[in-house]
Amino acid sequence: MAGIDPRDLPDPAPDSGFDLRTRAELALACDPGEPPAGLFRHTPWRRRAGVHRAAVALLATAGVWGAVMAVRPPELVRGAIEHEYYERTLRGSFMAPDELLRHLGLAGQRSAPGYPQLMRPCDIDGQRAYHLTTFFEKGGMVTVLAFDGPVALADGGGWWNNVYWQVIRSRAGKPLVLVAQKKKALAVAQASLGRPPG
């Protein structure tokens, strides 16, 4: 196919008055050599909305993580809570009551406090522990864990993994970990097992 010769095309129609006026107005509207300054505006990275959203999300995440870490019990208490969960339904006496009472700081008593459900030696995170699950009539079921070796547990308590926990001092001054599903049960157990006030 051969190309079209421009000499064979008809002459274009002359510009009308409207075309001339429109061309003149457009020529005055904007100098084509200088674009508007707004097209080249530079926003610093720290002022961008996406950076602000990311900073807020990071601060919120850090706040939630800090709150969780603030209420999180010590590692040995978390191990005791996990141990209690897996032995919650176990019943029986797997050790002499005298030995258990001695570890609980109740060497002078003849029987364990409450209605004992489980007495046995255990291992919690590499620590030898003595486990007593007992029922207090005016409180409920409580698991008491006394440790054989010296452990560094400060007195305190809280709620973790759907149970209440508390660290108290036995009458002999050793730390005891109490775990219960009812907060009232901890108070009854503390009155029965803990060091008297004063």
3-class SS letters over the chain: CCCCCHHHCCCCCCCCHHHHHHHHHHHHHCCCCCCCHHHHCCCCHHHCHHHHHHHHHHHHHHHHHHHHHHHCCCHHHHHHHHHHHHCCCCCEECCCHHHHHHHCCCCCCCCCCCEEEEEEEEEECCEEEEEEEEEECCCEEEEEEEECCCCCCCCEEEEECCEEEEEEEECCCCEEEEEECCHHHHHHHHHHHECCCC
pTM exceeding 0.75:
no
pLDDT at 9 over 80: no
pLDDT of residue 37: 73
Share of the chain above pLDDT 70, in %: 96
Q: How big is the CA angle at 181 (ends 128 and 143), to the nearest 5 degrees?
A: 25
pLDDT at 10 over 80: no
Pair of tokens at residue 80: 């005791």
Q: How big is the CA angle at 62 (ends 59 and 64), to the nearest 5 degrees?
A: 110
Q: Which of 8-17, 79-88, 129-138, 151-160 has the lowest mean pLDDT?
A: 8-17
Question: Does residue 53 sit within a domain?
Answer: no
Domain count, the chain: 1
Question: Does residue 112 sit within a domain?
Answer: yes
pLDDT of residue 110: 86
pLDDT of residue 16: 85
Q: Which of 28-37, 51-60, 126-135, 171-180 has the lowest mean pLDDT?
A: 28-37
Question: Does residue 102 sit within a domain?
Answer: yes
pLDDT at 5 over 60: yes
Question: Does residue 12 sit within a domain?
Answer: no
* Average pLDDT, rounded, for the chain: 88
Closest CA to 146 of 128, 161, 168, 130: 130
pLDDT at 1 over 60: no
Question: Does residue 180 sit within a domain?
Answer: yes
Domain hosting residue 114, numbered range: 75-193
Closest CA to 118 of 139, 144, 154, 91: 91
Query: What is the phi/psi pair of residue 126, to 5°?
Result: 80, 0
pLDDT of residue 168: 95
pLDDT at 15 over 90: no
Question: Does residue 187 sit within a domain?
Answer: yes
Q: Which of 8-22, 70-84, 99-113 has the lowest mean pLDDT?
A: 8-22
Question: Does residue 96 sit within a domain?
Answer: yes
pLDDT of residue 195: 82
Q: How many CB atoms sit inside 10 A of residue 140's CB?
A: 17
Most confident of 19-23, 27-31, 113-117: 113-117
pLDDT of residue 2: 65
